Amino acid sequence: MHLSKKCSFFKVVLVALLIVALLQLFYLSFLSKFHGKQQRYRYSELFGGTGKKNAHTEKNSRKEHMRYSMSTGGMFDSSGQYRVYRNLIKSDFTSNQALGSEGRSNVLTLCTHTTINNLYHLESLVQRWQNPLSVAVFAHGQDVKFATALVFALSFFCPQIQALVDFHLVCLSGEYASFPEHDREHLSGLEDCASVFSRLETHRDKYKNYAIHGNVSYPNNLLRNVARSGTEASYVLVIDVDMAPSTDLHPQFLAMIARRPPAGDEVFVLPAFEIRHVRKLPASKPELVQLYQVGEVRPFYEELCPRCQAPTNYSQWVNNHARDAGPLDVAYTLAWVDPWEPFYIGPSAVPLYDEDFKQYGFNRISQACELHVAGYRFSVLTSAFVVHRGFKVQGEFHAKKDEENKHNRVLFRNFKAALKTKYLSSNRHC
């Protein structure tokens, strides 16, 4: 009798366990179907609409613009080595301006460039800038497909990017970008803005600096020019994607030029710094100076090329407290000296970057040199700055850095000689 009761008890337990297991299987099956339904809905949103009349009109318009841009096949750059898709995706701001329906004009655009492995920096850059950006992305090989899909996803899922960021794509002349309508490989699992940036994070360590697979040259100056040509702003600020400007620079600069109309031959220098990776980026000059004084922030390129930024006169800028509390203004004006390569806000008419310079070395200094020969003056702003994420240190660059620098040094000599012919009436040289 006791044994019979024991067997019955075990049967009940076994049946209960089987029921629990079946319920778990049913639940997992339901989750899988629900997730699949969600994914189908997301793809429908991305490429087919929802079936509702007039739904997602702006997003469908963006999709059709991107489809058209790709159908043109882009344009070759002047060298014939690269294919350029300008305005692959237009922001709401740019589209509304083109239609004449935007209430404010675009006075200042931040222009930047990147490969797909550094595009994740765009999230914090947009949050810091909060105004129009023009972004030129370089991709090669399989990354062309990945870049196209992820750029479209950013413009779809991220409201701030959708509102403010224009994207341009550059690839090798023998490569083509295609509309990512059937690219489930790269779009699968993307549900919101955070998921897109998480996907981009997985590519952050794919390349080391300019060491792109296939021995392909990174055309940094072409990309800078593409980003600049993608905006009709009166002024441009060109920085690398892993840098960030001080908070509220855009409205502060607009207020300054309203009070003090700038001369046509003036650019406004933003002292450049770099910060340890573990530190949060400073928002204001007092925050930056505090970190500077304890060695957590230092002048940009201090270890690699201290002379390249020294003419900024960091000591004078850091200790110039008298006017920091007031509105943004010019602290002092400097003459350019070799080898200064400042970051600056300049009128859109400043000379373009020379596209013969690729990879590492002399790509920015060549343009600063031309500004000098062309007669521009360099006015350092009182409290605005740019800061690079992480210290630049020896040993962290790709293997061919020195070889590229040597090659570009020869190009720079030829470039300086050509300036003498281009600016015959100038008494300046570099």
Task: Report the chain's mean pLDDT, rounded to a whole number.
Answer: 87
pTM of the model: 0.85
* Per-residue tokens: 119: 């595009």
Query: What gap in Å lies between CA 391 and CA 296, rounded to an integer?
Result: 9
**Most confident of the ranges 33-42, 94-103, 386-395:** 386-395
What pLDDT sits at residue 402?
Answer: 83
What pLDDT sits at residue 393?
Answer: 86
Query: What gap in Å lies between CA 430 and CA 418, rounded to an integer?
Result: 12
| Cis previous bond, 339, omega within 30 | yes
Q: How is 126-173 classified by DSSP, letter by letter?
A: HHHH-S-EEEEEE--TTHHHHHHHHHHHHHHH-HHHHHHEEEEEEEET
Residue entry with tokens 């200790």:
319
Cα dist. 241→120, 129, 162, 387 in Å? 9, 12, 18, 11
Give the strand pairing for 266-270 and 108-115: unpaired
Query: What gap in Å lies between CA 224 and CA 113, rounded to an integer?
Result: 6
Find the mean pLDDT for residues 288-306.
95
* Gyration radius of the chain over CA positions: 26
Query: What gap in Å lies between CA 160 and CA 247, rounded to an integer?
Result: 17
**Most confident of the ranges 19-23, 130-134, 203-207, 316-320:** 130-134
Nearest alpha-carbon partner for 137 in 163, 160, 159, 155? 155
What pLDDT sits at residue 35?
Answer: 41
What pLDDT sits at residue 83?
Answer: 97
Across 172-176, 341-345, 391-395, least confident range: 391-395
What pLDDT sits at residue 177?
Answer: 92
Query: What gap in Å lies between CA 266 and CA 86, rounded to an integer?
Result: 28
What pLDDT sits at residue 16?
Answer: 67
Nearest alpha-carbon partner for 264 in 375, 343, 366? 375
Find the mean pLDDT for residues 406-411.
93
Query: Model confidence at 360, in pLDDT bands (50, 70, 90)?
Result: confident
Query: What gap in Å lies between CA 416 and CA 430, rounded to an integer?
Result: 7
Q: Is 324 helix (H, G, I), strand (E, B) or coil?
A: coil
* b (16+ CB within 10 A) / e for 125-144: bbebbebbbbbbbbbbeebb
Query: Model confidence at 44, in pLDDT bands (50, 70, 90)?
Result: very low
Query: What gap in Å lies between CA 309 and CA 243, rounded to an integer?
Result: 15
Across 131-135, 180-184, 373-377, 402-406, least confident range: 180-184
What pLDDT sits at residue 4?
Answer: 55
Quick check: 391 pLDDT over 60? yes
Nearest alpha-carbon partner for 355 in 399, 420, 411, 421? 411
Contact, 353 vs 219, CB < 8 A?
A: no
What pLDDT sits at residue 47?
Answer: 52
Across 43-52, 82-91, 113-122, 379-388, least confident range: 43-52
* Per-residue tokens: 304: 């690699």
Nearest alpha-carbon partner for 388 in 331, 309, 316, 290? 309
pLDDT tens column, 96-148: 876 565 556 789 999 999 999 999 999 999 999 999 999 999 999 989 999 99
Query: Model confidence at 216, in pLDDT bands (50, 70, 90)?
Result: confident
* b (16+ CB within 10 A) / e for 43-61: beebbebeeeeeebeeeee
Greater confidence (185 vs 45) lies with: 185
Phi, psi of 43 (to 5 degrees): -65, -40
Quick check: 280 pLDDT over 60? yes
| Residue 301 DSSP class | T
Quick check: 38 pLDDT over 50? no
Query: Model confidence at 42, in pLDDT bands (50, 70, 90)?
Result: very low
Contact, 351 vs 303, CB < 8 A?
A: no
What pLDDT sits at residue 40?
Answer: 41
Quick check: 283 pLDDT over 60? yes
What pLDDT sits at residue 98?
Answer: 66
Quick check: 22 pLDDT over 80? no
Query: What gap in Å lies between CA 374 and CA 192, rounded to an integer?
Result: 47
